Amino acid sequence: MSKTYKIAILPGDGTGPEVIREGIKIIETVAKKNDFKLDFTDYDLGGKRYLKTGEILPDSVTEEFKKFDAMYLGAIGHPDVKPGILERGILLKLRFELDQYINLRPVKLYPNVETPLKDKKPEDIDMIIVRENTEGLYTGAGGFLKKDTPQEVAIQESINTRFGVERCIRYAFKLTQNRAKNNKLTLCGKTNVLTYASDLWQRTFNAVAKEYLQLTSDYVNVDAACMWFVKNPEWFDVVVTDNLFGDIITDLAAIIQGGMGIAAGGNINPEGVSMFEPMGGSAPKYTGLNIINPIATINAGAMMLETIGESKAAKDIDNAVIKALGSGKIKSMSAGKMGLSTTEVGDLIASLI
Ligand code: IPM
Ligand code: MN
């Protein structure tokens, strides 16, 4: 009997539903080919529901998600809702509550995709960033003192636990070991200034590195990383870093692989349920125009299948994306400039599976 996976679908806001539709098209196609089934359940979390009912993310819904094999998210963010409310209330809350402690962001320049980096080729841009996803400056720890007075104090605390840092670093070492590249793991921090947080990261990294002597371990300060990502991206294989540094450097990394149209991410709880999403936002101005690039979401779908154990199907998607890009039919990775509609890009990739 073929296996059935339960997938929670969160189309979300703006162009989210349009890209998720194509993502589903692709994973269904590949499921048929590889003889497994997908059982989808839709969740209408996002701006529309919030504006209508005031509900952001009911606790009971978070509980329900734990019963799924994976979650597939379009985008969160609505122009009529103050920025941050939905992002924190849905996206970050899910990452925290479901303990999705790894944010995995592969950075790969596919053939025929334009990079803003002069003379860099697909073989130069192929790394994976492991971002800690449940601690650091994202926990919301801190507060105001004397708010709205000239003496106001704002404190935003970076929480780094040995437990949280170590599990992230261990994940990164394992990933590096399983990846057929340079077998190098680079810790990205700011040890010259963050004498507590980055120090804990570095000590933990050095301790775990002793168990992986066959791998190369390296260190880079986050400011220098920004420079080297642009000048010598080929130096990097796997990079591990904290939540905020990871947020920042993965946007930089996304643009060198061709932009938000193609960059995917996974919020991973290796022991629980994981959530996959395109890195881009809800892009409200493109809503309903059928011009948004669905490839990032399709790539996120491949990551999802890989994580639930359908590696062959994930590879099939990757190959189809490479073929579609190689065909030259997709003119650009940018919304409105693809030369094809959102649906047509999905159809093209589906036809190549
Ligand atoms: C991301 C996003 C989120 C983050 C926002 C929307 C809260 O930028 O997934 O990188 O900061 O983590
Ligand atoms: Mn970000």
Output the pLDDT for position 1: 75
CA pair distance 252, 249, nearest whole angstrom? 5
User: In 3-state terms, what secondary structure has residue 148?
Assistant: coil
CA pair distance 317, 311, nearest whole angstrom? 10
CA of residue 249 to ligand 2 center, whole Å = 9
> What are the residue boundaries of the structural domains of the chain, listed by start?
1-100+283-352, 115-257
CATH topology (fold) of 1-100+283-352:
Isopropylmalate Dehydrogenase (3.40.718)
For the Cβ of 247 lying below 6 angstroms from any atom of ligand 1, the answer is yes
For the Cβ of 28 lying below 6 angstroms from any atom of ligand 1, the answer is no
What pTM was computed for the model?
0.97
Please give all residues whose CB falls under 5 A of ion ligand 2, grouped by chain where several chains appear. 247
Output the pLDDT for position 180: 82
What is the maximal distance between C-alpha atoms in the chain?
Answer: 69
DSSP per residue, 163-180? HHHHHHHHHHHHHHHHSS
CATH topology (fold) of 115-257:
Isopropylmalate Dehydrogenase (3.40.718)
Output the pLDDT for position 308: 97
Whether 1-100+283-352 shares its CATH topology with 115-257 is answered yes
CA of residue 172 to ligand 2 center, whole Å = 19
The pLDDT-based confidence of 182 (bands split at 50, 70, 90) is: confident
For the Cβ of 92 lying below 6 angstroms from any atom of ligand 1, the answer is yes
298-327 confidence digits (pLDDT tens): 999 999 999 999 999 999 999 999 999 999
For the Cβ of 7 lying below 6 angstroms from any atom of ligand 1, the answer is no
Of all residues in the chain, the percent with pLDDT exceeding 70 is 100
Radius of gyration of the chain (CA): 20
Output the pLDDT for position 169: 98
Mean pLDDT value across the chain? 97
